[in-house]
Every structure is written in structure tokens, then in C-alpha cells.
Amino acid sequence: MDLKDLIVYQIAMDIGEKVWNIVNEWAFFPKNNIGNQWVKSADSIAANISEGFGRYHFKDKKNFSYFARGSLFETTTWLDKAKNRNLVGESDYNELTSVIKNLGVKLNNYINSIGSRGDQFLPTDNQMTTE
């Protein structure tokens, strides 16, 4: 399996691009303060998934997936701050909240699957959609 076939990676990449496109439209002050942090945390989700994917030991894979989950939570915090400060509209807020929640479930399933059979098992799309 290739990294780009991994559903959690695809969703994380989409979140990063969506956040980038939103922040890119902001004025300097909010972009420099909230925007930079939000983009970094959103991009860190996919970056940690990919770093873990490239590791040879399942404990490393799992550890980087935990980092990705932490970045997912941080991304949620920055989304809430952006909404509270009227930097994100209701539509974008609701869409990102839904996608982030969905990724959280899939990421937890992915983490639970790593090393579950004593090998470097990677779940298929069907296994990633279980809630």
C-alpha cells in the first residue's frame, strides 16, 4: 500500500488545503497570529501520518499517529478561535468541524489497527469507515 492510498492521509491532506485556502484570504494581523498556527497544526496532521507510515516499527507508526491526533485537536482549537473572532463563516466552520470529527474516528481506528496482528498491518478503506 502506498501512503497516498491511506484514507486518513487523504482526509488530513484535504483539511490542510482547506485551512490554507481560508487563511490565505485573511488580512495580515489575523493571518500572522491565528492563521500561522492553524495552518501549521493542520499541515502537521498529514505530516505526522506520513512520517509514521515511513517508520519500520509499529510502535513508531503508532507514536506518530498519536502526534497526528494531537495536531487534529489543536486544529480544532484554532478553528474555534477563528470562528469566535469572525474569521471563518458558518459554512466553512460546519464543514471543517464535520470533516475533523470524521477524521478523528478514522484516525483512532487506524491507531488501533497498527500492530494488531504483530505485523505492519494497514487497514483497508472498509475497515477505516467503521465508527
Q: What pLDDT score was predicted for residue 117?
A: 59
Parent domain of 15: 3-128
Residue 5 has pLDDT above 70, yes or no: yes
Q: What is the largest CA-CA distance in the chain?
A: 50
Number of structural domains (the chain) is 1
Answer whether 68's CB lies under 8 Å from 12's CB: yes
Residue 130 or 90, more confident: 90
Task: In whole angstroms, give the CA distance from residue 97 to residue 76.
Answer: 7
Residue 57 or 116, more confident: 57
Answer whether 101's CB lies under 8 Å from 60's CB: no
Provide CB contacts within 8 A for 94, sequence distance 6+. none
Q: What pLDDT score was predicted for residue 115?
A: 84
Task: Provide the CATH number for the domain around residue 64.
Answer: 1.20.1440.60
Residue 86 has pLDDT above 50, yes or no: yes
Range 29-56 average pLDDT: 97
Confidence of residue 1 (pLDDT cuts 50, 70, 90): confident
Confidence of residue 16 (pLDDT cuts 50, 70, 90): very high
